[in-house]
Amino acid sequence: MSLPSVDDILATARVVALPMRERFRGITVREVMVFRGPAGWGEFGAFGEYDDPEAAWWLAAGIEAAWIGPPTPLRDSVAVNATVPAVPAADVPDILARYPGATTAKVKVAEPGDTLDDEIARVEAVRATIPNVRVDANGKWTVPQAITALHALGDLQYAEQPCATVEELAQVRAAVDTPIAADESIRRAEDPMRVVRADAADVAVVKVAPLGGMRRVLSLAADIPLDLVVSSALDSAVGMSAGIACAAALPDGSLACGLGTGTMFVRDIAAPFVPDDGRVTPRTVVPDEDAPAADPTRTRWWVDRLRRTHALLAAGHPASEWSQV
């Protein structure tokens, strides 16, 4: 299938600005562009700091969703984890109440202003309610900081991207009992298999949009000999539908996925995927007509970005192979 034109995409494109309940990843308003194709709606939502070559993977994923649609599911629901931002421990119960039935929680750590005592208190507050706890440092710890923190935080299902580089992950993994998960070292890497060769991780966290689409994630999953967790890239309900469809098509669905983050928005682009007994169900999403629109300046920024990243796909960027996977 050939790449749709920019005009085909822009014919239905909308840019929305979704306010968040708490700051997450430094963001208080999440902007994404959505567009409709013959198979449904797709999302282009690469974070603002990502350059065009990296953002092109996200566009490819949106095109796949809108022009090809989801893969064949193997299960009718997907277990999801609760996501706890870097909030005070006293606020944790209110966060967890958004994830009824969840038995796994991912807790953000290593945020600016956090101390190790803050992180211990946050994790303990989660552990009082949720049996399986993960932490995510987004690569912000040094190796010594990671080793110290993971010894102090106690029993964890895994620590996600404690340090920035593959070599650092391998050092931490060799020094602690906590299983290590690779996120950025897979989704932002030219060679996602390097973590495997370096013996640097026990778990691979994969995200549909940054990796170029549902089918590319499934292809990658077939090659990576690690436990797999499909997670959200702070997607709107449109992007989340692709993540959930991908997770439902994986052969192994034993680990809870990070696909419950729709509860983090004050207002989503459509009815969010709200966990029921700790699980979400795949479904088709159509954006609400009254979803909060981005202002004209930001809309122009996204349109310009779409044109640049589309040109990269048309010129043979690796993500342009989306239709061949």
Binding residues: 136, 160, 183
- DSSP lists the bridge partners of residue 258 as 231
3-state secondary structure of 137: coil
> Cβ(269)–Cβ(236) under 8 Å?
yes
Catalytic residue annotation: 108, 207
Residue ranges of the binding site for Mg(2+): 136, 160, 183
Q: Which of 151, 193, 187 is nearest to 172 (CA)?
A: 151
318 CB-near residues (< 8 Å, 6+ apart): 212
3-state secondary structure of 69: coil
Q: Within 10 A of 228 (CB to CB), how many other CB atoms are there?
A: 22
Place of tokens 């803050």: 118
Q: Which of 76, 325, 314 is nearest to 214 (CA)?
A: 325
Would you mind telling me the total number of residues written for the chain in this entry? 325
- DSSP lists the bridge partners of residue 109 as none
Spatial distance between the Cα atoms of 182 and 159, rounded to a whole number of angstroms? 9
Backbone angles phi, psi at 309, to 5 degrees: -70, -35
Q: Within 10 A of 16 (CB to CB), how many other CB atoms are there?
A: 26
- For residue 247, which amino acid is it? A
